[in-house]
Homo-oligomer: A and B are copies of this chain.
Amino acid sequence: MKSLPLLLIFLLSCLLFSISFSSPPEESVSSHSHVLPRPLIIEYPDGVGEKENYNDDQRELLQLECTSWRFAVESNNLRPWKKIPLECADYVKDYVTGRAYKMDLDRVSNEASFFARSVQIGDDGNDVWVFDVDETLISHLPYYAQHGYGLEEFDSVAFDEWVDKAMAPSIEPSLRLYEEVMSLGFKVFLLTGRSEKQRDVTVQNLLNVGFKNWDKLILRGAEDHGKLATVYKSEKRIEMVKDGYRILGNSGDQWSDLLGSAMSTRSFKLPNPMYYIP
């Protein structure tokens, strides 16, 4: 009987923890509000979610919940989100700085490479592989390491300052794929949500880290600003198809790189649990 209070505290903690994960706040939402970013989970009152005090079972549950959250991100099941869940901050940091992220990047590159080698390329030079740029070819981990790996809300001013340095490192498995699809005879189109104003730093950054000889680099023009990425990228892919290109492969870290109109024959989703672009 001495352990009853402890048991009750434990059960209560489990309950609070479970509520915090499974019941995001109801919101009054209008039609199509699902495309507007909003926080996944509200921040908790002090005392809830202090992981230092977790016992082994709570830690295991946290690991399971954050893995489940990450699965939902990667399979495009989540409503739009602006920040990673507070409780998963350590989990996301461990993931992107550890072996698992590298392993996932390697696997998606290998699978894309396998597909690229398996398809017949026409001799008209019209077979295209589309690559997104940020978190697909080059990595902003050095920036996100300074900004909680997604725990802070996106700061476009600070981010653009970082982009202007043109110092984002390459994602090596993507560089390998990039060079391979080029050598197989694909045209390579880079389709990025960056602004046309960032063309020079983008070119410089890509060249700095080994990407070269792309066939097109498409950035947002004045008329594209304010469009959802899915819409903007779909429009650009529709133009490619109208120009006679066949989009066989598409690599991107956001589902908004891959879904919409004029979708590629096969899409490859690179992992990114740090941020979401609708």
Contacts and interface: CB of A to CB of B under 8 A. Distances in A.
Contacts of A78: 111
B103 A68 contact: yes
A32 B267 CA distance: 14
Residue with the highest number of chain B CB atoms closer than 10 Å, among A22, A61, A107: A107
Contact of A75 (B29, B64, B74): B74
Interface stretch (A115-123, A131-139, A233-241): A115-123
Interface string A53-94: 000000001001101111110111111000000000000000
A117 B68 contact: no
Contacts of A29: 117-118
A108 B77 contact: yes
A165 interface: no
A225 B75 CA distance: 29
Residue with the highest number of chain B CB atoms closer than 10 Å, among A61, A76, A108, A263: A76
A119 B31 contact: yes
- Looking at chain A's contact residues, is the secondary structure mostly helix, strand, loop, or mixed? helix
Contacts of A79: 111, 114-115
A78 to B, nearest CB: 6
Contact of A68 (B72, B104, B118): B104
A112 B79 CA distance: 9
A138 to B, nearest CB: 20
B76 A267 contact: yes
A106 interface: yes
A204 interface: no
A46 to B, nearest CB: 26
Given A68-B103, A100-B64, A107-B69, A76 B269 contact: yes
Contacts of A267: 76
Interface of A: 22-24, 29-34, 61, 64-65, 67-72, 74-79, 99-100, 103-104, 106-108, 110-112, 114-115, 117-120, 259, 263, 266-269, 271
8 contacts: A22-B110, A68-B100, A70-B71, A72-B111, A75-B75, A75-B269, A77-B112, A79-B115
